[in-house]
Homo-oligomer: A and B are copies of this chain.
Amino acid sequence: MDTRNRQKLVRKVSPVAPVGMAMPSWPQRVSFCVPGMVPDSNGECVSALCAARAHPLADQRQNTRMADYERRVLARFDDIVPTLKRISARQHEADFETQAQQIARERLGFALDETVLADAWVSALDMRKLYGASVLHTFLDLAREAGAQQDGNAEAAAMTRFFIECGFHEVDVSACADGRLKGLLQYILRLPQQAVRRHKSYAGTLFDIEQNVKQWTETELRRFREGVPTLPESGTRYLKIAVYHFSSSDPTHEGCAAHGSDDHRAAQAALDRLVAFGTAIENGFCCGASIATLLIGLDTDNDAIRVHVPDAQGGMSLECVIDNITLYQATAECAAPEALRQLGSVVDETARRYGRSAPETGMRRLIERLLANNLAQIDYVCTHHQGRYADIGHAERFISIGDGFEEVHLRNLAYFGHMYTVEEGAADMDVGINIFSRLNVARGLPIPVAIHYRYDSQVPGSRERTVARCRRVKAAIEARYPDLMRDGWLVFGMSAQAKQPGSDLETVADNDINAHGH
């Protein structure tokens, strides 16, 4: 595996240089690549950070499978505009409705809203409504397909066991709402999402401390009452991971918008929240209550992470970090055993270099696992995305509001704002609307907004209250952006889903909000 030449892999996804066609070796070719990118032996521009060959610790088969999935998913979204254009061109033909539905079913896999098609003769086809509904429909189809295929239970159980071996009975990840982090679990960290039950996103990674204390409380009570997942005397802890982000190729523009694209500020803000959460637990509960924390930075250009190494007491600094892109470069040309040896010493060496104590063994093991998983992702980006995403900026397809969908996690798929009310989540909502005003409205496309909440089917009335919440949040978004609403720039979809694993996604219809208020 580690002897395979990257050229072949690159060629697969880069049809501009057909297989077998030798590139002329003129050196001027360099000038066609943007800074930071260099031509590979095929003349393709590839990030200068990428090694010439596949990383010895990356599972190429898995990467290929994941790349196929990503490509198929994005292709389904990319098909929407050309399909709707084709349909639009026929809107004045006699059997328009029949033709339109046939094209939609063939190309998109579903029928369009009949009323919109039927109304086309009066004025023009309401393309905004069709586009928005098609994006949301495509996503729901993908989520349902993914839900039906989910078979990662064994993998998730193994990961949960590994976390516990490391001393963590729950791993809770909060990241930024930015859509470029939407692949965080499945792609960037390669963690089965069922093993990370709590993963919520907030603009600027500014997670809600009061709510997190409540989540900690729930987890701890289950341990005390049920001994699940560990007994109270086991000495394991709740681990909170916060992930901030930055852009190595355009640091002052494509970093975290909530922190003015200043990665130092973004990192400090996330670290402050972690410390505050830890203090809240230590102060609010007796008997030595404490949590473990970990701060991770993410380069959204290439998915490489930066891990801030905790000392023996769990303290972290902004400086004492392992840059995984550096580890990638140092190990890509090695044989696997040597790469593993370097991986096994990087945590302690980094701590030593900064004059700090090394973290506990369990934390070190966890960090090593995260680094290894992320090496595979760096390799993935090098192989399948030239080492730097073509869309280093925002390219989300829709806004996801609420509890977030579990089924499909993919980079730049959605801007995800976790919120229960727009009143509290207004800042996150505004950031999302700003992004999409540039991405979509500026190009004549509306903003699809998927509102999704989960309910507890074991709690009487929970479903009805969740449905009411969907409608209430929708109404609040409509009220917040009256100008966008008036011109049809916001298109909504609503869904609810039981918390119990494997539950169906239920579409929520528009309705009189008051009828379901209580």
Q: How many copies does the complex hold?
A: 2
Q: Which residues of B contact A517 (CB under 8 A)?
A: 427
Binary contact track A134-159/B, C-beta < 8 Å → 1, others 0: 00000000000000000000000000
The answer to whether A424 touches B421 (Cβ under 8 A) is: yes
In the complex where A289-B225, A423-B421 touch, is A284 in contact with B217 (Cβ < 8 A)? no
Contact of A210 among B287, B421, B459 (CB under 8 A): B459
Report if A443 contacts B (CB, 8 A).
Answer: no
The answer to whether B460 touches A204 (Cβ under 8 A) is: no
CB distance from A500 to the nearest CB of B (A): 11
Report if A232 contacts B (CB, 8 A).
Answer: yes
The answer to whether A456 touches B284 (Cβ under 8 A) is: yes
Q: Identify which of A64-72, A274-282, A293-301, A371-379 touches chain B.
A: A274-282
Q: Which residues of B contact A465 (CB under 8 A)?
A: 209-210
The answer to whether B280 touches A209 (Cβ under 8 A) is: no
Q: Which residues of B contact A232 (CB under 8 A)?
A: 224-225
Report if A370 contacts B (CB, 8 A).
Answer: no
The answer to whether B459 touches A279 (Cβ under 8 A) is: yes
Kindly state the interface size class of chain A when it binds its partner.
Answer: 35 or more
A264-294 at interface with B (beta carbon < 8 Å): 269, 275-276, 279-280, 283-287, 289
Contact of A284 among B421, B458, B461 (CB under 8 A): B458
**Interchain CA distance A206-B286 in the complex, whole Å:** 34
Q: Which residues of B contact A226 (CB under 8 A)?
A: 285-287
Q: Which residue of B lies closest to A456 (CB)?
A: B284
Q: Which residues of B contact A356 (CB under 8 A)?
A: none
Binary contact track A227-264/B, C-beta < 8 Å → 1, others 0: 00000100000000000000000000000000000000
Q: Which residues of B contact A345 (CB under 8 A)?
A: none
CB distance from A212 to the nearest CB of B (A): 10
Q: Which residues of B contact A220 (CB under 8 A)?
A: 221, 225
Report if A61 contacts B (CB, 8 A).
Answer: no
The answer to whether B283 touches A225 (Cβ under 8 A) is: no
Report if A124 contacts B (CB, 8 A).
Answer: no
In the complex where A421-B421, A476-B423 touch, is A280 in contact with B221 (Cβ < 8 A)? no
CB distance from A238 to the nearest CB of B (A): 12
CB distance from A446 to the nearest CB of B (A): 24
Report if A341 contacts B (CB, 8 A).
Answer: no
Report if A486 contacts B (CB, 8 A).
Answer: no
CB distance from A27 to the nearest CB of B (A): 51
Report if A369 contacts B (CB, 8 A).
Answer: no
Q: Which of A213, A420, A423, A427 has the most CB of B within 10 A?
A: A423
The answer to whether B217 touches A221 (Cβ under 8 A) is: yes
Binary contact track A200-226/B, C-beta < 8 Å → 1, others 0: 000010100110011001101100111
Q: Which residue of B lies closest to A479 (CB)?
A: B479
Q: Which residues of B contact A472 (CB under 8 A)?
A: 423-424
Contact of A518 among B204, B218, B279, B473 (CB under 8 A): B204
The answer to whether A225 touches B224 (Cβ under 8 A) is: yes
**Interchain CA distance A476-B269 in the complex, whole Å:** 27
Q: Which residues of B contact A285 (CB under 8 A)?
A: 225-226
Q: Which residues of B contact A204 (CB under 8 A)?
A: 518
In the complex where A225-B224, A286-B226 touch, is A459 in contact with B213 (Cβ < 8 A)? yes
The answer to whether B461 touches A276 (Cβ under 8 A) is: yes
The answer to whether A461 touches B209 (Cβ under 8 A) is: yes
Contact of A276 among B213, B224, B427, B460 (CB under 8 A): B460
The answer to whether A286 touches B225 (Cβ under 8 A) is: yes
Report if A45 contacts B (CB, 8 A).
Answer: no
CB distance from A111 to the nearest CB of B (A): 35
Binary contact track A413-424/B, C-beta < 8 Å → 1, others 0: 000000011111
**Interchain CA distance A459-B273 in the complex, whole Å:** 11
Report if A98 contacts B (CB, 8 A).
Answer: no
The answer to whether B459 touches A280 (Cβ under 8 A) is: yes
Q: Which residues of B contact A476 (CB under 8 A)?
A: 423
Q: Which residue of B lies closest to A228 (CB)?
A: B286
Q: Which residue of B lies closest to A211 (CB)?
A: B214
Known: A224-B224, A280-B456, A284-B456. 15 other contacts (CB 8 A): A213-B459, A214-B217, A217-B217, A224-B225, A224-B232, A225-B287, A225-B289, A226-B285, A226-B287, A269-B518, A284-B458, A421-B423, A423-B476, A424-B472, A427-B518
The 10 A-B residue pairs whose C-beta atoms are closest, nearest first, are A283-B458, A224-B224, A276-B460, A280-B459, A421-B423, A423-B423, A421-B421, A221-B221, A279-B460, A206-B518
* 12 pairs of residues in contact across A and B, judged by CB atoms under 8 Å: A206-B518, A209-B461, A210-B456, A217-B217, A220-B221, A276-B459, A279-B460, A280-B462, A284-B458, A284-B459, A423-B472, A423-B476
